[in-house]
Each structure stands twice: as structure tokens, then as C-alpha cells.
């Protein structure tokens, strides 16, 4: 099972305050543990929302909204993608994570990523083939 793990933003991360050397070291050690355990697929931190944008869809209309975005507690500061056996295993790994926003209350969200089987009959053989082609191209893109 694949899970996306979201590190929620804080006022500091949204202000562009970079983590301390100690936190970088602790997170690096944690990421190394994840990699050695064979569950780490990908991970990265994200720039503050002031450098981002959103596109709102309303029928055929598209509206671009530039950051920053107000609700810090709803924003993401970073992520991991893990391949684990269960949500419970993902929870246990998250509980071992250093506090990503030291000096403040912080939150990490765990969400399962859909697999082809989750879509049922609507995910036709043609759609499966297309999905495989896209994934292969994405790997090549690196």
C-alpha cells in the first residue's frame, strides 16, 4: 500500500524560516531509516504558499489565485510517499518522526494513495495500459 504523508505548514514555514541544522540532521537520519527499511519512495519540502498558485475550476472557467494562502493549518510544507503494509505501519513510522515544526504544535497527515484495483471495472484495460505508459515516462523524466 502506498501512502502520502503530509507535513502541515506552520507560521514559520509559511514565513520562509528554514529549519535548524539540528532538525535537518534529525530529518536526514529519519529519512535514511525510511530508505534503509525499504519504504521510502519519495520526499521533499515545499516552498511557502506565497510562491505558489491555485487554479479554481468552475465548469469551463479557470481562475488563477496567487499565494500566499491564509489558512496555514490547511497548507502543506512537505511530504513523503511510502510503500508500507498498512495504515497502522505508516502511523508507527510517523510517530518516530522528529517534530517537523519544533517549538510549536505540528501535525502530519497520512493518506492512502489509490491503486488501480480501487477503481473497479471503470479502469478499463486501455486505461491501465495508458497508466503504465505514463508511469514509465514519469520514471524516465526522473
CATH number, domain of 123, equals 3.30.70.1060
- Check whether 142 has a pLDDT greater than 90: no
Shortest CA distance to 93 belongs to which of 137, 26, 31, 18?
31
Contact 100, 7 (CB under 8 A): yes
The pLDDT value recorded for residue 90 is 98
Domain range enclosing 73? 2-141
> For 97, which DSSP code?
S
Q: How far from 43 is each of 28, 73, 80, 87, 127, CA to CA, in Å? A: 11, 20, 4, 18, 27
The pLDDT value recorded for residue 100 is 96
Quote the number of domains for the chain.
Answer: 1
Average pLDDT over residues 50-62: 97
- Check whether 114 has a pLDDT greater than 90: yes
Residue 105's region, left for phi above 0, alpha for psi from -120 to 50, else beta, is beta
Amino acid at each position: 500500500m502506498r501512502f502520502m504523508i503530509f507535513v502541515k505548514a506552520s507560521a514559520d514555514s509559511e514565513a520562509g524560516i528554514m529549519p535548524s541544522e539540528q532538525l535537518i540532521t534529525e530529518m536526514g537520519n529519519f529519512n535514511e531509516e525510511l530508505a534503509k527499511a525499504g519504504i521510502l519512495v519519495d520526499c521533499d519540502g515545499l516552498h511557502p504558499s506565497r510562491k505558489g498558485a491555485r487554479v479554481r475550476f468552475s465548469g469551463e472557467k479557470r481562475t488563477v489565485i496567487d499565494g500566499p494562502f491564509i489558512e496555514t493549518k490547511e497548507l502543506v510544507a512537505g511530504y513523503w510517499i511510502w510503500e508500507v503494509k498498512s495504515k497502522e505501519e505508516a502511523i508507527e513510522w510517523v510517530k518516530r518522526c522528529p517534530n517537523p515544526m519544533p517549538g510549536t504544535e505540528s501535525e502530519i497527515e497520512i493518506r492512502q494513495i489509490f491503486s488501480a484495483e480501487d477503481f473497479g471495472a471503470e479502469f478499463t484495460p486501455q486505461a491501465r495500459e495508458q497508466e503504465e505508459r505514463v508511469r514509465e515516462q514519469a520514471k524516465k523524466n526522473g
